[in-house]
Structure 1
Amino acid sequence: MDYNTIAALMFSSMLLMMLTGQRVFGAIGVVAVVAALALWGQGGSDMGFSAVMKLMKWTALLTLPMFVFMGYVMSETRLAEDLYRMFHVWFGPLPGGLAIGTVMLMVLISAMNGLSVAGMAIGATIALPELQRRGYDKLMISGVIQAGSSLGILIPPSVVLVLYAMIARQPVSNLWLAGIVPGLLMAALFILYIVIRTWANPALAPRMSAEERAAITRAEKFSLLRAGLLPVFIFVAMMVPFINGWASLTETSVIGVAATVLVAWGKGRMSWYVLETATKQTLLITVMFMMIITAALSFGAVFDGLGAGRSIQSFFTEDLGLAPWQILVLMQVSFLIMGMFLDDTAMLVIVAPVYVSLAKALGFDLIWYGVLYTITCQIAYLTPPFGYNLFLMKALAPPDYTLPVIYRSVWPFVLVMVLTLVLIMVFPQIALWLPQAMLGR
């Protein structure tokens, strides 16, 4: 059996195991271990050990538990609830105003979190009941919460961009800056869709009543604005030292945790219960990520050892004779298809190393390509049948939010994400302008 056939068999076996409902790290790890032992005998057992050692040397991974902890502290201390009240008061009188406020809440949560998990938890526990009480349509509620929470994957401090930086060997600061404008652009397009959709059908998102608007004083409005300054304080406290080179990436994440805890303590909401809950949840998510990455590194080592990466590059450039832009489009389409079955971490550590080297060989900017990849991860979180946010929504939402409802709700927002992806492909400066302006890249 030739090496290309073995590589194809490995990949198909991994996908088959995932389709049977096996855990991601188990499916990837078992295939990697069996293939390594079958190909190289007892020496193949060293690959798993090498993957663990490589993982331990990635100091950037120390930021993962920090950013997850920040998100859970915000959720448990109800800091996000204060933000939502602010958006409710200021945007409630507009058609779809509370849905617009939900997207803006998710932008601020994303700027302190780096993952979509906390955004989903906050959206489902805080935004969903309020949107339901206001008579919003189920499809609108489900779509807004899922799409808004996915912004945490793109807007810094994005953990996905940190992982991509390690794979592509690119500066995290450049990638974080490159994610800001595309993230804000996507959020703006979400809001534009909500405005147009609710203007065409106001029954989907009723406005705040005139009586309720009259009951809110001007003093209360401006006092609630202070709640909106707290996330800005946390974000500035993290990003200014990092961008200016005063703090490393790991130190920046610690500053973010300290700022979040300080704000929660200042509002009198930090307790031993909050600390215990946030720590337990952080440990669970961090261990899950590390197990997936360890398994995927082992799989990638075997896959690369077979020469699969070089074979794919040769297939595109020599056998098919495609132009660089045609190859780039095919790569993105394949990522979108794989995103229906794999989560972002699995896609990153299994497929991205091959595609990153291919993008580099074709002469594409790897910072720009990192933004394209991250947007495809966002889309992967929302696309049936195995989108991560789809199952989170099902687990967190009331029983009447069935899977068909959840699946139908995301498609308008997926199309908006695809539009954003196309815009950044056609106009790379959307992603590259800010790193060039601030860091002279």
Structure 2
Amino acid sequence: MSYESISLLMFTSMMVLLVTGQRVFAAIGFVASAMVLMLYGTGGIEIPFSQAFKLFNWFPMLTLPLFIYMGYILSESGIAEDLYKMLHVWLGNLRGGLALGTIFLMVIISAMNGLSVAGMAIGATIALPEMLRRGYDKILITGVVQGGSSLGILVPPSVVLVLYGMIAREPVSQLWLAGVLPGLLMAAMFAVYIWVRCWAQPNLAPVLDDADLKMPLSEKLALLRAGILPFLIFFFMTGLFVMGYTSLVESAAVGATAATLAALLKGRLNARVLHDTASKTLAISCMFLWLILAALAFGAVFDGLGAVRAIESLFITRWDLGPWQVIIMMQVSFILMGMFLDDTAMLVIVAPLYVPLVATLDLGFDNQLIWFGILYTMTCQIAYITPPFGYNLFLMRSLAPPEISLIDIYRSIWPFVLMMAATIALVMTFPQIAMWLPETLNVR
């Protein structure tokens, strides 16, 4: 059997196991270990074994549990709920103000979290019921929560970009900086869409007549204190890192410590909050560890068989594709896989194939793997909310009130999918949107 046939067998076996509902890390790790034993005998088990030590020796791995902990403690301690109340009072008089406030809230949560899950949970349990109660259109606001929560995997500190950095061996700090402007651009597009849509169709977002909105200016100014703690957390975590005072791992530790102190200052740090936060952090962190370990093992075997060179030969030699056509083919494959797999599954499947190939392409600018990591992450955002099996679609269905059906959820996401696709097109056409900040600051 040729190496190409073995590579195809590995990939097919993995996909079959994933379709049967097996856990992603188990399917990928099993195929890698089984193929090593078949090809090299018992001595080959050293390959996946050595990947475990490679993983544990990678210092930035420590950032994962710290960022996950920070996001959950902000959610569990009610700091995010205070933020939403502040946005409601200050923006509630605008048409579509609560929807705009929800987007702003999602950007803030994303800048302190790194995962879309926490943003989705906060948006669906805090913002969505409030907007429904005040007569907002359910399809509009369902899309707002789903689209806004997806920003968590692009705006730093993005956990997905940490994973990509581990597999691609690229500096996470550069990836984070590269995600800032595309993330803010996408959030701005969401906000403009909401404002224009609510102005054109006033029935979607009625002007509110709420007693809270009529409070004296002095009380409104006092509410701004709800934004002080999140701003300080973000400054001490990201600001000190960008200015060069802390390393990547140190900034994660600073963020986790600052979030804990914020919960303590609010008087909401108790045994239940700590227990729930620790349990969720442990579960998510272990899942990511197993996924990365399985991906490294699979990639080592896959690359050793020459699969990367086979893909390069297929795209460039046989199909005679240009560099940009190859990138577009990769993006299309991400979107197709995203209809059935989550972002981490896609990453561990395609990164061993695509990352080395992207490094060989002549796209006309430096740091191509940094730029490609942003493209991948933005495509994951589309995958999160694309039927039939987008991860956020079903998470939203489990969290949303009963009056919001799965059909409503499917209908709500298309404007946001189109805006995400437009942002991807802009970043592909003008790579400096992503590359300007990391090239200017040059933080390592």
Q: Distance in 2 between matches of 1:288 and 1:167?
A: 16
Counterpart of 1:436? 439
Counterpart of 2:418? 415
Structure 1 unmatched ranges of 5 or more: none
Could you give the per-residue CA deviations for residues 403-440 of structure 1, whole angstroms, max 9, x where no partner exists? 33222222211111111000011011111111222228
Could you give the per-residue CA deviations for residues 281-310 of structure 1, whole angstroms, max 9, x where no partner exists? 100111111122222222222211211111
Question: Is the CA contact 1:297–1:350 (under 8 Å) kept in the aligned structure 2?
Answer: no
Aligned letter for 1:184?
L
Counterpart of 2:300? 301
TM-score, with structure 2 as normaliser: 0.94
Which 10-residue stretch deviates more, 50-59 or 109-118?
A: 50-59
Counterpart of 1:141? 141
Counterpart of 2:336? 337
Q: Distance in 1 between matches of 2:228 and 2:439?
A: 28
Counterpart of 2:103? 103
Counterpart of 1:166? 166
Counterpart of 2:346? 347
Counterpart of 2:37? 37
Please list, as runs of the form range in 1=range in 2, the aligned pairs for 1:381-400 lying within 5 A after superposition: 381-400=384-403
Residue 215 and residue 240 in structure 1: after superposition, are their counterparts in 2 closer, same or farther (change >3 A)? Answer: closer
Could you give the per-residue CA deviations for residues 368-400 of structure 1, whole angstroms, max 9, x where no partner exists? 222111111211211122222122212222334
Aligned letter for 1:378?
Q
- Deviation (angstroms), 1:64: 0.8
Q: Percent identity?
A: 60
Question: Is the CA contact 2:334–2:379 (under 8 Å) kept in the aligned structure 1?
Answer: yes
Q: Distance in 2 between matches of 1:69 and 1:432?
A: 29
Structure 2 unmatched ranges of 5 or more: none
Q: Distance in 2 between matches of 1:102 and 1:174?
A: 28
Counterpart of 1:12? 12
Alignment length (residue pairs): 440
Aligned letter for 1:148?
G
Q: Distance in 2 between matches of 1:82 and 1:239?
A: 22
Q: Distance in 2 between matches of 1:345 and 1:105?
A: 25
Counterpart of 1:376? 379
Q: Distance in 2 between matches of 1:366 and 1:293?
A: 18
- Deviation (angstroms), 1:171: 2.0
Counterpart of 2:88? 88
Counterpart of 1:236? 235
Please list, as runs of the form range in 1=range in 2, the aligned pairs for 1:190-201 lying within 5 A after superposition: 190-201=190-201
Counterpart of 1:259? 258
Residue 21 and residue 404 in structure 1: after superposition, are their counterparts in 2 closer, same or farther (change >3 A)? Answer: farther
Counterpart of 2:321? 322
Could you give the per-residue CA deviations for residues 6-40 of structure 1, whole angstroms, max 9, x where no partner exists? 22232222222222322212222222233222222
Please list, as runs of the form range in 1=range in 2, the aligned pairs for 1:395-406 lying within 5 A after superposition: 395-406=398-409
Q: Distance in 1 between matches of 2:10 and 2:207?
A: 54
TM-score, with structure 1 as normaliser: 0.95
Which 10-residue stretch deviates more, 179-188 or 122-131?
A: 122-131
Question: Is the CA contact 1:112–1:235 (under 8 Å) kept in the aligned structure 2?
Answer: yes
Question: Is the CA contact 1:68–1:118 (under 8 Å) kept in the aligned structure 2?
Answer: no
Residue 401 of structure 2 aligns to a residue whose secondary structure is coil
Please list, as runs of the form range in 1=range in 2, the aligned pairs for 1:61-140 lying within 5 A after superposition: 61-140=61-140
Counterpart of 1:275? 274
